[in-house]
Amino acid sequence: MPEKEMKEIPYFGQYPVSKQVISLQNDRGTKYEMYLKVQNELVAAYNELRQELAKKKFGKDYNKITKEQRDAINEIYPQRISEAEPKNIGGK
């Protein structure tokens, strides 16, 4: 598990925030459909975590809370998807 860092977050006070980054690498021969599905799953995972925290902290859905509350949650679970240079195993 990635390292955590204590951060001052509005509504939450001191909160351990993960220094996570998701690295995504694809091949040049990957189909776009597969790529988008993977991206979709990653975003879905973030949304799930955010939704969970919103429910726990505010008792409401993530998209029902105020913008400030949402920003606080986004700071706890920042969406960091890094795309590495693609490989070229399959050729063009």
User: Cβ neighbours of residue 44 under 8 Å, at least 6 residues apart?
Assistant: none
Residue 38 near another protein by CB under 8 A: no
The nearer residue to another protein, 63 or 66, going by C-beta atoms, is 63
What is the bridge-based pairing of β-strands 22-24 and 81-83? parallel
Q: Which of 49, 51, 74, 86 binds another protein (CB under 8 A)?
A: 86
| Closest distance of CB 61 from another protein, Å | 15
- Closest Cα partner for 16 from 81, 76, 88, 92? 76
Residue 36 near another protein by CB under 8 A: yes
